[in-house]
A and B are shown apart, each in its own frame.
Chain A
Amino acid sequence: MKKILNPEQIDQIIKDLTIRIISETPPGVDIAAIGIRSRGEILAQRLSAQLSKKLGKDVPSGILDITLYRDDLNSPQGTAQPQVRTTEIGFDIDDKIIILVDDVLYTGRSIRAAMDALIDLGRPKAIKLAVLVDRVGRELPIQADYAGYKTDVEPGKLVQVFLSESDGKDEVVIE
């Protein structure tokens, strides 16, 4: 097991991402952070808090459940049976720039599912992808717009993200 990010580094990444997002967002356009259940949801909340603070206006955050849009639902190899949970987005996504947030970007399949799920909710002005860890191994043509930490860890290893809200500590490890 190798520790790759500690709490201070995670905190710094959220702050850096906030600055980059703001610098690339045209003034006058509303933005919102939507996180993929379950770690992405927490990161989206942290990001929206930072964005709200820096911009001096409310940047809402929401939770996206992508279970119904997964591409492995009908495959017998599916290791875990995903539980369908609620999507909780209490605002209109139309014409906003949506910062889609996840903990680890790896194959890109979750992001494909998330984009399809978002489009069924409305028509955002743009969808941008922000991730804490960007890991080599894409199986779809998807890249992050904002990535915190990049790693070329080999397939078969597990990148695990722990966040204090759900796991009692902030930490990212490779197992």
Chain B
Amino acid sequence: MALKKNKQFRWQRKHLLGLRELNAEEITYILDTAKGFEQISTRAVKKAPPLRGKLVVNLFFEDSTRTRNSFTLAASRLSADIIEFTKKTSSVSKGETLLDTAKNLEAMGIDIVVIRHTAGGVPKFLSRSINACVVNAGDGFCEHPTQGLLDVYTIRKIKGTLEGLKIAIVGDIAHSRVARSDMWAMTKLGAEVIFVGPPTLIPAQVNRLPVSVSYSLDEVIEKVDVINMLRIQFERLGGNPFPSIREYSHYFGLTVERMKKAKPDILVMHPGPINRGLEMESEVADGANSVILQQVTNGVAVRMAVLFLVNQAAAQSH
């Protein structure tokens, strides 16, 4: 290889636990790296060799289809071997502790753990307990960093930059780790974020976060460049956060009617899976402004970049 003096930025994290702890330069570096991975999925041989001989474990303590599949695809396109581990089919259902599970996997020589857990902070705990790289695939209501990254990747790809954009995140903010990771990534890259939802679904400590809040989608819709509609997560909602689904839809659903007030080039996003007709009408989900499927495609490239980078950092720290 030609010797070159390289004074460029160096990625040094062997774990990706959240976006809150990353700075704008690190986030941008991941996005730039992901660009190089995007094309692998479109060419003759949809595989490249950088993780050949590495073992990735998908350790999912909470149901997931899209994120888990996306990580599996990302790891296999990088030529890694993958072990799928879900709560239902493992010794966890026999009472094994998280740490024992992880230590056992480590004894098999894993290099990267992709973990999703219902409790916030579990990825961080794991990163301190084992030697493998840890990638957070969603922890409690805290963070879902790769979703945040693929969202800003998608926006940046279309709009060129996040700088100066106004972005509304709409719906169940309180129970959304996507909203949090999005907020960190978007604000660090220079966008202005507005949380929109009924007061019962806006987190209590929101005034400590770098966002503004609105309880009216109608007031916000005409101002924003991007709108990210969160899924109403019935499985997480306790009590009666809103009187009825119809009423929620009436005030906070993205309807064809409401879209008429939006900027013509507004990007409509959704982390999936969509409750069609609830947070978004089908015509909008499938409409010209929707980038929902591009988010899914970009998710693979972003996760490839993340797996590649944490492995690089681990290799170079030995």
Q: Chain A interface (Cβ within 8 Å of chain B)?
A: 39, 65, 67-70, 72-76, 78-81, 83-87, 103-104, 106-107, 109-110, 116, 119-122, 158-159
Q: Is B2 an interface residue (CB 8 A)?
A: yes
**Contact A75-B315, Cβ < 8 Å, known A67-B36, A84-B37, A85-B36:** yes
**B48 pairs with A69, CB closer than 8 A:** yes
CB distance from A4 to the nearest CB of B (A): 15
* Cα-based distance from A122 to B29 in the complex (angstroms): 29
**Which of B4-12, B135-143, B204-212, B278-286 sits within the interface?**
B4-12
Task: Say whether, besides A74-B315, A81-B10, A120-B47, A65 and B2 are in contact (CB < 8 Å).
Answer: no
Q: Tell me, yes or no, whether B107 is within 8 Å of chain A by CB.
A: no
Name the A residues within 8 Å of B36 (CB-CB): 65, 67-68, 84-87
Q: Which residue of A lies closest to B54 (CB)?
A: A74
Which residue of chain B has the shortest Cβ distance to A120 in the bound complex?
B45
Q: List 5 A-B contacts (CB under 8 A).
A: A80-B4, A87-B36, A104-B2, A120-B44, A120-B48
Q: Mark B88-115, 1 if CB is under 8 A from A, else 0.
A: 0000000000000000000000000000
A159 neighbours in B (Cβ, 8 Å): 2
Of all chain A residues, which has the CB nearest B312?
A81
Please indicate the chain A residues that have their CB under 8 angstroms from the CB of B6 in the complex: 79-81
Q: Is the CB of B318 within 8 A of A76?
A: yes
Known interface pairs A68-B48, A69-B48, A121-B43; 19 further A-B residue pairs with C-beta atoms within 8 A, sorted by A's residue number: A68-B36, A68-B50, A69-B49, A70-B1, A74-B315, A76-B315, A78-B315, A80-B4, A81-B6, A81-B8, A81-B316, A83-B8, A83-B29, A84-B37, A86-B35, A86-B38, A104-B2, A110-B2, A159-B2
Chain B residues, Cβ within 8 Å of A104: 2
Q: Which of A65, A83, A110, A159 has the most CB of B within 10 A?
A: A83
How far does the alpha carbon of A39 sit from the alpha carbon of B3 in the complex, in Å?
12
Q: Considering the chains assembled together, what is the distance between the CA atoms of A65 and B39 in angstroms? A: 11
